[in-house]
A and B are shown apart, each in its own frame.
Chain A
Amino acid sequence: MVRFILTRVASAIPTLLIVSITIFVLMRMIPGDPATLMLGDLAQPGQVEALRRQMGLDQPIVVQYLIWLGNVVTGDFGQSIATHQAVLPLILDRFSVSAIIVLLAVLLASLIAVPAGMFAAWRQDRAGDIAVIAASTLFLSIPSFWLGLMLLMVFGLWLGWLPIVGYVPFSKDFTSALIYIIMPVVTLVLVESGSIARMARASTIEVARLDYITHARAKGLSEPAVMWRHAFKNAFAPTWTLIGLILGSLLANIAVIETVFTIPGLGRLMVDGIYARDYPVVQGCMLFVAFIYVVVNLVVDLVYPLLDPRVTA
């Protein structure tokens, strides 16, 4: 078991390294002098020179990469051209906003969709199943930003129940904060439930065919007991992997939701950074999100053996 954990963690490191190389290379592909790009058009020649030396631009590219990597690892992501703030703290701040929405949405979506999917599998080909499949297919075909806009239109403009713009951090006022994030969270929940439910349904159907389910019934267990005690853990495993993937991909896709509901999150930071050619910010966001994604998948992998003990063998 320990070996399993160590191998998994160890194999994440080369991935992270290559991720960092990719981002480094990508940023260097932007035409223009890297130092000038980092400081923006209004920089003084003296500042540019200093930065050039610091970045080691006269050195071979590998050394430049190592210098950059060294900075990143110690938490120095550079400075935003627009605001001259240090990038990392800025990212962390915005991340806390996005993270709450994403985590909440995935949690709620799972709580709704997993039982729904299992229920559909249980009632395969009957009314309940068809309803669940129809709803799932429908929801996963709707773009999240459009759904968000429609909700905004209906509940914000026409009915006036919920605020249209803005965000209140939880630290300031719990209830207001809750009200402001209802619509973004609901949008995400609706959209993601579709794919989670379908996966849960498919894997439950797979599992229900296997002999150990019949064996469990042959012992005299009632249907609910069979489903819960025997089917659930084994059926949940592939869904769990999917949830990890969704969590990760939402970190990138959250940008559209933040745009629709005007929320100061990480996605918005990156997009604004791209508009403004604020490359330190863009680079920092990419690094950060990719890092979180790798970590999330690592955690998913480490939990997997709890669901399927065959994996550590």
Chain B
Amino acid sequence: MIARALGLPRFRFNGALGATIVTLLLLIAVFGPWFAPYDPLKLGLQFRLQGPSTAHLLGADEFGRDVLSRLIYGARTSVWIAFSTTLFAVVLGVVVGILAGFIRGWTDRLLMMVNDALLAFPGLLLALGFMAVFGASRNGIIVALGLAYMPIVVRVVRGTVMSLREREFVEASRVMGNSEIVTMARHILPNCVAPVTVLATTMFGWIILSESALSFLGLGVPPPAPSWGNMLSTARPYISQAPHLIILPGLCISITLLGVNMLGDAIRDWLDPKMQG
């Protein structure tokens, strides 16, 4: 309705708002430290649990640390982790997916058996398992979540490759004399870019959510380093005294996810007609 009022087609509105939010997030993540008023780890016990004030624009937490600064650094952490994990999952997933979809036969069956087994673990379970083994750490999260999300990329890539293999333009490439490798590199790979991009955008959002959930459980980014998830976790005992500690980090996560989802929708809508070819 807002879009109608502004006279914009809906997906452009989604895309614009989503892109704005995501850009803001990335800017904060990259340049935040220059603007953060305080060191996120600096204690200030005289300000314990204070609400928003002139000294601390968004208040202070249970150790007197500045909430605004911690939120900024938290953004940095989340973006860094989400980005690395997405990259990890996508690169690994594309390689495996192409091998499985293109070579087929026993290679495919074997890879898919392992892939299906990894997919047999719901959402966080595999990540939790990894964290149990490796202990909570930033790199641990990246590997754990990366391995947890990789199978989805494999599925999508393999599916795309298999449907593309049978398309006539791929057959034309073979008939004209191109080797299998050239056919794959020149015709199949570029046509995988669109579905993988859509998936990557969506995954970025899922990973931010998963990382904050893990941090909330205490199995993610270890305190005192700030992550929106662990900020929520440590604030729980103070829920009645300092509600801002509960409201703010969660708000950050929600707005980020909203932006990523809207952007993802817009990208999907935009790429869709092109994908039909």
A binding-site residues for B, Cβ under 8 Å: 14-16, 18-19, 21-23, 26-27, 29-30, 125, 127, 130-131, 137-138, 140-143, 145-146, 149-150, 152-153, 157, 248-253, 255-256, 259-260, 270-271, 274-275, 279, 282, 286, 289-290, 293-294, 297
Contact = CB atoms under 8 A, between A and B. Distances in A.
A23 B258 CA distance: 35
Interface of B: 1, 4, 10, 113-114, 116-118, 120-125, 128-133, 205, 209, 212-213, 216-219, 232, 236, 239-240, 243, 246-247, 249-250, 253-254, 257-258, 261-262, 265
B258 A138 contact: yes
Most buried by A among B4, B10, B212, B217: B217
B120 A26 contact: no
B216 A145 contact: yes
A26 B254 contact: no
A34 B236 CA distance: 36
Contact of A143 (B10, B113, B124, B212): B212
Contacts of A21: 117
Contact of B117 (A18, A138, A142, A286): A18
Contact of A18 (B114, B128, B246, B253): B114
A149 B219 contact: no
Nearest to A149: B246
B257 A26 contact: no
A282 B129 contact: yes
A149 B236 contact: yes
A279 B257 CA distance: 34
Nearest to A138: B258
A275 B113 contact: no
Contacts of A142: 250, 254, 257
A256 B128 contact: no
A50 to B, nearest CB: 25
| 8 nearest CB pairs, A to B | A146-B250, A18-B117, A141-B257, A249-B123, A141-B258, A252-B125, A249-B122, A248-B122
A275 B218 contact: yes
Most buried by B among A143, A145, A252, A294: A143
Contacts of B265: 137
Contacts of B10: 125, 130
Nearest to A140: B261
Nearest to A248: B122
B271 to A, nearest CB: 16
B29 to A, nearest CB: 18
Nearest to A129: B10
Contact of A127 (B1, B216, B239): B1
Most buried by B among A21, A149, A251, A294: A149
Nearest to B216: A145
A146 B254 contact: yes
Given A143-B257, A256-B213, 5 more contacts: A152-B239, A251-B122, A255-B217, A274-B131, A286-B129
A145 B246 contact: no
Nearest to B252: A146
B246 A153 contact: yes
Contacts of B114: 18
Given A18-B117, A30-B133, A152-B239, A143 B122 contact: no
Given A255-B217, A274-B131, A141 B254 contact: yes
B129 to A, nearest CB: 5
A137 to B, nearest CB: 6
Contacts of A127: 1
A137 B262 contact: yes
Given A22-B118, A289-B122, A149 B218 contact: no
Contacts of A248: 122
A133 to B, nearest CB: 8
Given A18-B113, A18-B114, A141-B258, A289 B125 contact: yes
